[in-house]
Structure 1
Amino acid sequence: MTTTALPADGPAVRPEAGYVPGRKDIARALASAMIGNWFELFDFIIYGYFAAQIGIAMFPESDPVTTILSSFATYGVGFVMRPVGSMVLGSMGDRFGRKSALVLTMMLMAGATCATGLIPTYNAIGLVAPALLVLCRLVQGFAAGGEWGGATTFLVEYAPANRRGLFGALQQLSTSLAVVSAVLVALALNTALSPGDLQAWGWRVPFVLGILIAPLGFYLRAKVPETPHFKAERDVPEHPLREALTIHRRTVLTIAGMVVIWTVAGYTYGTFLVSFASQVLEVPSRYALLGTLTGALCNVAVIPLAGWASDKVGRKPFLLASAAGFAFVSIPLFTFMAEARSGISVITATAVAGVFSGLFSGTAPTYLCELLPTRVRYTALSVGYNGAVMLFGGFAPFIATLLVRVTGVTIAPAFYVTAAAVLSFLVIACVRAPDPAKAIDQ
């Protein structure tokens, strides 16, 4: 297979020529980036876990599968706004600083999350209910479009040269911690409340409680200094989006292709599997949630190890291993779940997926940043990543549910994951890996 080298992406940046962060600033940078990413993922994951309850509350009565499809379609609408948010907030971050854009994303995410939990039901206000829900998802999606790329850029630019992989992994670790938090909240609500109470008001609790985290996020992001790389960048682009989509369009497309399996697997084995297990496999929802928790804990264990190891041996081997793993195991895992129809089968499948996902999550954030120059890193990273999330990941639960319904094949979602894995493997294999020992802009 031919290996393609991406073109040089701009002049090297020398952060040592300006501000050098101390331990306190680095700790604040870690906390501020991780808490925002946690908040974003917590909201999206909680929505997926309570998709059935939200569908009943916000949409006209229909058969269960149609209700779930409506709920997941609204869930996917938020992802349509992600590329828009990535363009606007990414450009803001490359022109005026990462910090200002990240403070705005936190504000928007907090408002949309709280509002979601306060919307009256369809029976109370009719079609206004789903309209308001869609509006909240649009705002949330816009903010999310600037969150991951900004937080990843922020942390990697703060990282010591020999620990970039670990810092990028810690940023991604926050997403797994969000999954753990969301599962524990969902399990607590499912255990403490009756199905009637959960439908009546219980599903709203996580959205309203999520707002309690926002003030801490605002404070941390307001106090942390701008990244040393951005401070050292003397040639700030006037039109970062235009530059990202012209000079660096090849790199943007490469990023999108690489992360297809990451986003498809994440939303299929995470968000979709909860409803799939309970509605299709008829496995009690608590086992589906325990499966997701197991997968997230596997992520928590693997991510920092992969990030640390990538600083020693490189990042590309872990990315290839992850994509290949998903390509080979997805169909067997779904077949196992479909035949066993047990909680153990769901837990086993999510644990295996969690390991392969952890390999990708522990190395991809830093690897993708190393493909881009400081002057357009926020914009290009956000556009490439969120483009893939919108097209392939955000609608993964909807597509997976639709595949089961249209084909009548229980394991049909595995075909989607396998195709995504093959695509990403080919893209990763064709790109020459940056040298992790070099400065980030060399």
Structure 2
Amino acid sequence: MDSITLDDVHKDKLSRTQLIFAATIGNALEFFDFTVYSFFALTIGKLFFPTMSSYGQLLASVATFGVGFVMRPLGGIVIGAYADRAGRKPAMTLTIFMMALGCMLIGLAPTYAQIGVAAPVLIVFARLLQGFSAGGEVGASTTLLIEAATPANRGFFGSLQFASQGIGVSIGALVAGVLTALLSTEAMLAWGWRIPFLLGVAIAPIGLRIRRRLDEQAPHADSVARQPVVDVLRDHGDRALLGVLLTIGTTVTAYVVTFYMPTYAIHELHVPAPTALLAGLVSGVVTFVVAPVSGLLSDRLSRRALIFWPRVAVVIAIYPAFLWLASEPGPTRLLVTVGGLSVLLALQAAPSITMLPEMFPRAVRATGMAIVYSVGVALFGGFAQTIATWLIRATGNVLAPAWYVMGCVALSCAALPFIRDLTGLPLDD
């Protein structure tokens, strides 16, 4: 029997650490970009849609944010299928390169005053490119994570994907907050808003280098699906539909609580910008801390239970939370509201992002995960800010976003009883 040396153990730990970092850095970069775009939505609206009213500028800006999600399903189909045929590593290398290109286009884009209507067109193109890459990123990277885990720690490994979103949000909020505090309004409009997007470009080469060095065994020819998209829709269509429904609850809560809330606090409740940005930082830190804990609990208890009960709590708590915040807007109430809702979000999101790839066999796992996640996010998450902004305008009620979250989360819970819980079981059992 071969002996295992300490050097072997060290190499195994190093390889595992490298894999986790490689799998999560793209997701962190994606959410860094989402965060800074959301926080600078008002600034981007003024620069790229100056002919509109202040409400129109905000709506156009958040709609441009949402339009990138239209490309997510296509990216999920194309890159997810590529990941199942060629391997997770090549797909992940491609997605991080495309994300960096999108960041560069936004960071260097001329404004409306410089090139006219071509300016918002360029921003929309950059968001479409980012949406395409993000559609394939989550499927390939999350699949790589859970396939590297054991049945006893798969929930924890999967939770690291959502924890990485917290890192991206935290860094994005911190960068935006520092810029807002240090720069004047004129400097921010002139060039300050570009800095975070260009920082995103600088992060990408690190991720590319790590992913290229990642060791991954090439898929065996016998285990590769020739038409993974067709196989998912034909043989696993019911699972795909349930997966989309499962995704709705997490994505709507995330995009309203984490990304829309700072803009909402500034535009609707007239909370100072630094306070609103601090709320984003709180949400990111809470996500980073709570998600792994939820992942560990989901390995010991049940993924279904860890998803269901926090979602029930969201449905019960979000309207009173919005009501309490709107009745007397201020730093303390905003931070408590965002922090509390972020705890409930992280508790349900970590096991959810693990359960999605568990639903599909290995040959089509990345494709299935990518399609399900990208469609769910595209239909309900990407335009959550647009819908929330429109609902407030249409109803005249600043509490309207809470009703949208309640309805979507309740609908999402209906899928849970029909999804097999593989807690503690082999992936392909």
Take 1:349 and 1:99, find their aligned partners in 2: how far apart are those partners?
Answer: 39
Take 2:388 and 2:23, find their aligned partners in 1: how far apart are those partners?
Answer: 31
Residues 342-351 or 404-413, more deviating: 342-351
Once the two structures are superposed, residues 398-426 of structure 1 have per-residue CA deviations (whole angstroms, 9 ceiling, x without a partner) of 00000000110110000000001101112
Shift of the alpha carbon at 1:314?
A: 1.9
Q: TM-score normalized by structure 2?
A: 0.95
Take 2:81 and 2:382, find their aligned partners in 1: how far apart are those partners?
Answer: 23
Take 1:343 and 1:116, find their aligned partners in 2: how far apart are those partners?
Answer: 31
Take 1:55 and 1:122, find their aligned partners in 2: how far apart are those partners?
Answer: 10
Q: Paired residue for 2:52, among 62, 80, 83? A: 62
Take 1:326 and 1:336, find their aligned partners in 2: how far apart are those partners?
Answer: 15
Match of 1:319 in 2: 307
Match of 1:16 in 2: none
Take 1:150 and 1:65, find their aligned partners in 2: how far apart are those partners?
Answer: 38
Once the two structures are superposed, residues 125-183 of structure 1 have per-residue CA deviations (whole angstroms, 9 ceiling, x without a partner) of 00110111111001000000001111100111111332111111112110001111011
Match of 1:420 in 2: 408
Q: Which amino acid aligns with 1:395?
A: F
Shift of the alpha carbon at 1:22?
A: 3.1
What fraction of aligned residue pairs are identical, expressed as a percent? 37
Superposition pairs for residues 30-49 of structure 1, below 5 Å?
30-49=20-39
Aligned 8 A contact 2:86 2:219 in 1 = no
Match of 1:10 in 2: none
Q: Which amino acid aligns with 1:441?
A: D
Superposition pairs for residues 402-417 of structure 1, below 5 Å?
402-417=390-405
Residue 300 (1) aligns with residue 288 (2): yes
Take 1:179 and 1:394, find their aligned partners in 2: how far apart are those partners?
Answer: 16
Residues 181-190 or 361-370, more deviating: 361-370
Q: Which amino acid aligns with 2:249?
A: I
Take 1:357 and 1:149, find their aligned partners in 2: how far apart are those partners?
Answer: 20
Q: Paired residue for 1:439, among 403, 426, 429? A: 426
Shift of the alpha carbon at 1:232?
A: 5.8
Once the two structures are superposed, residues 24-57 of structure 1 have per-residue CA deviations (whole angstroms, 9 ceiling, x without a partner) of 3222110101111111111111111101111111
Residues 334-343 or 104-113, more deviating: 334-343
SS of equivalent to 1:225: coil
Q: Which amino acid aligns with 1:189?
A: L
Shift of the alpha carbon at 1:95?
A: 0.9
Match of 1:183 in 2: 173
Match of 1:125 in 2: 115
Q: Give the total of aligned pairs.
A: 420
Aligned 8 A contact 2:85 2:225 in 1 = yes
Q: Which amino acid aligns with 1:73?
A: A
Match of 2:140 in 1: 150
Match of 2:193 in 1: 203
Take 1:314 and 1:51, find their aligned partners in 2: how far apart are those partners?
Answer: 39
Q: Which amino acid aligns with 1:255?
A: G
**RMSD in angstroms over aligned alpha carbons?**
1.5
SS of equivalent to 1:224: coil
Aligned 8 A contact 1:233 1:375 in 2 = no
Shift of the alpha carbon at 1:273?
A: 1.1
Shift of the alpha carbon at 1:233?
A: 7.3
Match of 1:374 in 2: 362
Match of 2:249 in 1: 261
Match of 1:309 in 2: 297
Q: Which amino acid aligns with 2:66?
A: G
Q: Paired residue for 1:216, among 191, 198, 206? A: 206
- Structure 1: any 5+ residue segments left out of the alignment? 1-19
Take 1:266 and 1:437, find their aligned partners in 2: how far apart are those partners?
Answer: 27
Once the two structures are superposed, residues 166-215 of structure 1 have per-residue CA deviations (whole angstroms, 9 ceiling, x without a partner) of 11111211000111101100110010001111111111000011111111
